[in-house]
Amino acid sequence: MSVVVFGSINADLVTRVDRLPRAGETVSALSVAELPGGKGANQATASAMFGVATRMIGAVGSDGHAGMMIAALSAAGADTSAIARLPGPTGTAHVCVSSDGENQIVVVAGANALVAATEAWPGRAGDICLAQLELPVAAVGAMLAQARRAQALTILNAAPALAEAALLLADVDVLVVNETELAFYCGDAVPADPEAAIVAARDFLRRDGQWIVVTLGAAGIVAVSGDRTLAVPAPKVSVVDTTGAGDTFCGVLAAALSEGQQMESALRFACAAAALSVQRIGAAASMPGRAEIEAAMDLVS
């Protein structure tokens, strides 16, 4: 089976700083770089690098960033034939990364704001539909509904957190959020520990068979479905840059599930991949291939 990613395509303008600026403060940059990014493109890259057939559906503009993004996705092994080229700018993300690996990100939608769902599900029954929320919510909802009617497995990374996205949950088989996003959708405080995240996630389940996966950074991940609970620890690694770690996780999770892996196995592959990605600079540029992920699997066993 294959993974169809419906999502954003951005050029990441990454500035490294010693520390992130406070409100109203100016700091000096250590370096600046233009790198491929966008939650959709990042997740498609991670999926393709895991070695499964991956199709990217989205849009770029008519500027110089467009060719760079399509070339980067193609180089990772993703099918780019369904990417639209629209008049105007490609989406951009302005990223500041501190020396301890934390980041601040401002996204300019560009062509992403004009993306609409395809008229029919472009994949097959049993394929994976992977979406995020950097495209118009109505378009994301239409794509998820099409995919579910066609008996595809639907995965939504509900980020950035948007109130209207709660209406999409009926068509989501696997919801992936971090602890802050979970708190936003549940209308509660950020979970203080994995046990609190499990309670909040179980309260957020909307139907039988649905999975809620919560990424907890250094505390690993928890996942719930009905009365089942899974927990996977995060490997202890030296963090260089957390940008794109969540996208790496989602892309590899989708890829592993597309191979027919059970949820626990897929989560372990995704955790290992995310741990590798935070040890390098960039989002798509930091993503590991399958052989490297398999070599790191003993860290999450």
pLDDT for 238 beyond 90: no
Annotated binding residues for K(+), written as ranges, equal: 241, 243, 277, 280, 282, 286
Fold of 3-22+29-300: UDP-N-acetylmuramoyl-L-alanine:D-glutamate ligase (3.40.1190)
Domain boundaries along the sequence of the chain:
3-22+29-300
Bridge-based pairing of strands 10-17 and 3-6 is: unpaired
pLDDT for 163 beyond 90: yes
154: amino acid identity, one letter: T
pLDDT for 188 beyond 70: yes
Residues serving a catalytic function are 247
Annotated binding residues, written as ranges, equal: 10-12, 38-42, 134, 178, 215-220, 241, 243, 246-247, 277, 280, 282, 286
The two three-digit tokens of residue 139, written as one number: 């378009």
The two three-digit tokens of residue 67, written as one number: 């060719």
pTM check: above 0.85: yes
Q: What is the mean pLDDT of residues 84-96?
A: 95
Annotated binding residues for substrate, written as ranges, equal: 10-12, 38-42, 134, 247
